[in-house]
Amino acid sequence: MSPQILDNALGAIGHTPLVRLDKVAAQLGLKCNLLAKLEFLSVGGSIKDRIAKAMIEAAESEGKLVPGQSVVIEPTSGNTGIGMAVACAIKGYRCIITLPNKMSLEKEAALRALGAEVVRTPTEAAWDSPDSHIGVAKKLQRRIPGGIILDQYRNVNNPLIHEMATGPEIIEAVVSTPSSTARPSSGKVDVVICGAGTGGTITGVSRAMKKTHNKECIVVGVDPKGSILAVPEDLNTADDGAMYVVEGIGYDFIPDVLSRDPADVDSWIKTGDDESFAAVRIIMRSEGLLVGGSSGSALSGAEKWFKTEAGQKVAQTEGKNVVLIFADGIRNYMSKPWFLSMAMEAEPSELAASIAGALEES
Ligand code: PMP
Confidence of residue 361 (pLDDT cuts 50, 70, 90): confident
Å from CA of 184 to ligand 1 middle: 31
The per-residue pLDDT for range 223-232, each reduced to its tens digit, is: 999 999 999 9
Q: For ligand 1, say whether the CB of 248 is within 6 Å of any of its atoms.
A: yes
pLDDT at 302 over 90: yes
Residue having the nearest C-alpha atom to atom 4 of ligand 1: 248
SS3 readout for 56-108: HHHHHHCCCCCCCCCEEEEECCCHHHHHHHHHHHHHCCEEEEEEECCCCHHHH
d(CA 205, CA 242): 29
Instruction: Summarize the confidence of residues 53-58 as an average pLDDT.
Output: 98
| Res 72: pLDDT | 98
Probe residue for ligand 1, chosen from 106, 202, 229, 328 as the CB with the greatest number of ligand atoms within 8 Å: 328
31, 37, 48, 313: the catalytic one is: 48
250 Rama class: left (phi>0) / alpha (psi -120 to 50) / beta: left
Neighbours of 26 (CB within 10 A): 11
pLDDT at 180 over 80: yes
Instruction: Summarize the confidence of residues 242-264 as an average pLDDT.
Output: 95
| Res 351: pLDDT | 84
| Res 348: pLDDT | 73
Residue having the nearest C-alpha atom to atom 2 of ligand 1: 248
d(CA 189, CA 199): 20
* ipTM attached to this prediction: 0.99
| Res 67: pLDDT | 87
- Contact predicate 272/304, CB 8 Å: no
Residue having the nearest C-alpha atom to atom 7 of ligand 1: 248
The per-residue pLDDT for range 200-223, each reduced to its tens digit, is: 999 999 999 999 999 999 999 999
| Res 362: pLDDT | 73
Å from CA of 249 to ligand 1 middle: 5
**DSSP state letters, 300-324:** HHHHHHTTSHHHHHHHTSTT-EEEE
Q: For ligand 1, say whether the CB of 196 is within 6 Å of any of its atoms.
A: yes
- Contact predicate 228/251, CB 8 Å: yes
3-state secondary structure of 34: strand
Instruction: Summarize the confidence of residues 134-140 as an average pLDDT.
Output: 98
78 Rama class: left (phi>0) / alpha (psi -120 to 50) / beta: left
State the closest ligand 1 atom to the C-alpha of 78, by its place in the atom list counted from 1.
5
Instruction: Summarize the confidence of residues 90-97 as an average pLDDT.
Output: 97
Active site (annotated) includes residue 313: no
d(CA 33, CA 21): 8
| Res 1: pLDDT | 63
d(CA 319, CA 292): 28
Mean pLDDT of the chain: 96
Q: For ligand 1, say whether the CB of 327 is within 6 Å of any of its atoms.
A: yes
Å from CA of 157 to ligand 1 middle: 15
Confidence of residue 75 (pLDDT cuts 50, 70, 90): very high
Probe residue for ligand 1, chosen from 48, 104, 161 as the CB with the greatest number of ligand atoms within 8 Å: 48
> Would strands 147-149 and 191-195 be described as parallel, antiparallel, or unpaired?
unpaired
